[in-house]
Amino acid sequence: DKEAQENELLALASIYEAEFKRAESVQGGESRISVDLPQNFIILVRGNPTENLQDRDFECTVCFLPPIVLNFELPEDYPSTSPPAFTLSSKWLSRSQLSILCKHLDNLWEENQGCEVLFAWMQFLKEETLAYLNITSPYEPKICKQEPNGTNEDHVSHSIAGSATAQEEILDARAVQDIESLSSLIREILDFDQAQREKCFNSKVYLCNICFSEKIGVECMYFLDCKHVYCKTCLKDYFEIQIKDGQVHCLNCPEPKCSSAATPGQVKELVEEQLFARYDRLLLQSSLDMMADVVNCPRSSCQTPVMQEPGCTMGICSRCSYAFCTLCKRTYHGISKCKVTAEKLVDLCHEYLEADEATKDFLNQRYGKRVIQKALEEMESKGWLEKNSKPCPSCGTHIEVRSELGRRTCEDQNVFSQNG
């Protein structure tokens, strides 16, 4: 038995490598078994207010699930007489489901008593767990609480293959669901899936469509939405050029007509610290510019973002304490109308003439109806003068042009030709 145990443990260490860890103090070990999943396998978690899921369903597609952990210890008379003592733990299988798997492992031992059985156990858990428990996509994991009498308070939600029934199952003491809540389960699933995807990505070879060189995945990066892959060297140069030009919203996939954008974490990984600080600052500023309730302090030496209170036109800078009007950006003037410069007055007239009724009411309230009306009259008068008069070449006074007259006299008695 001793020799058979040693040979089996050495074989398992050779086959499963990092997934198998031999115990130091006892004749046993731990195997972390990743279950084979079909493509596009969906995990579904129903909204539950007690789990901070805000009554909304959570759904995600995964390629990997956290492993089933088989801890075992080999008795002295294994494999000739006694089976291995073991526990089976998982984060995404309920205790009822794990108990059913424990029972099947017992059956496998009974069918192969006298022979080494650990490899058969591990292969079953890896290749047949989903089919044996009749788990299909979308799969909704359950966290089942144990009643004082040792039974499961919830029924198994899936029909079980073989001799298992849908009746309430007695929980096996060797079955352990190693998770506290559904919300923590979601985090565990997403983190493990992402880590395993990165591990697979880093071990493969990809062609960079910028430099057309083949590089191993650890030297490459892919855009999350489109999955297009480029080497980190090319993306680093691409990101640096865009950030230096201030184009922080243009860090998209270089593939033509692809709109996938790089995440801040990807940018931080590739560019230098000072350049990322510029990227972060410009990205924040552009986000603030798109927020209707945020204005910048008008002082050129400050420019600190200021939150604008609803229905209030006064902003107070938290950095320099400058109180200003959020409309005209001048010193706060209370209920007085905003003052308008000559240049602004022309733009205001054009804006008013092209505006709808709601915008006109807003402009009247902001600048005053009399100010806008006077500006419109002045603009109309100026247009009439430019069309129907000519300035006196001596004093500049505007003289009405009439087709029947060839010479005109201005108010200062200067005589000039209206056609010259």
Residue 239 has pLDDT above 70, yes or no: yes
The pLDDT of residue 366 is 65
Comparing CA positions, the residue from 30, 176, 156, 172 lying closest to residue 91 is: 176
* Region at 395 (left for phi over 0; alpha for psi -120 to 50; beta for the rest): alpha
Residue 297 has pLDDT above 70, yes or no: yes
Using the structure block, give the residue that is written with the tokens 């109180």.
323
Pairing of strands 85-90, 68-73: antiparallel
pTM above threshold 0.75? no
Task: Pick the more confident residue, 130 or 52.
Answer: 130
Comparing CA positions, the residue from 282, 330, 283, 288 lying closest to residue 306 is: 288
Q: Are 146 and 168 in contact, with CB atoms under 8 Å apart?
A: no
Per residue in 305-346, pLDDT (tens digit) is: 888 777 677 888 888 988 888 877 788 888 777 776 666 777
Task: Pick the more confident residue, 19 or 142.
Answer: 19
Lowest mean pLDDT among 81-90, 95-104, 356-365, 386-395: 386-395
User: How many residues make up the chain in this entry?
Assistant: 420
Residue 294 has pLDDT above 50, yes or no: yes
Per the prediction, the chain carries an average pLDDT of 81
Task: Pick the more confident residue, 393 or 256.
Answer: 256
Percent of the chain with pLDDT over 90: 41
CA 385 to chain centre: 60
The pLDDT of residue 257 is 87
The pLDDT of residue 407 is 52
Residue 418 has pLDDT above 60, yes or no: no
H helix runs in 290-338, sequence order: none
> pLDDT confidence of 356, banded at 50, 70, 90?
confident
Mean pLDDT across 74-80: 92
Per residue in 118-129, pLDDT (tens digit) is: 999 999 999 999
Per residue in 190-235, pLDDT (tens digit) is: 999 999 999 999 999 999 989 999 999 999 999 988 989 999 999 9
Mean pLDDT across 17-46: 90
Highest mean pLDDT among 70-74, 167-171, 308-312, 390-394 belongs to 70-74
3-state SS, residue 258 = coil
Say how far apart CA 4 and CA 74 lie, in whole Å: 11
Say how far apart CA 74 and CA 315 lie, in whole Å: 74
As beta bridge partners, residue 68 has 33
Residue 49 has pLDDT above 50, yes or no: no
The pLDDT of residue 289 is 66
DSSP letter for each residue of 184-221: HHHHHHHHHHHHHHHHHHHHSEEE-TTT--EEEGGGEE
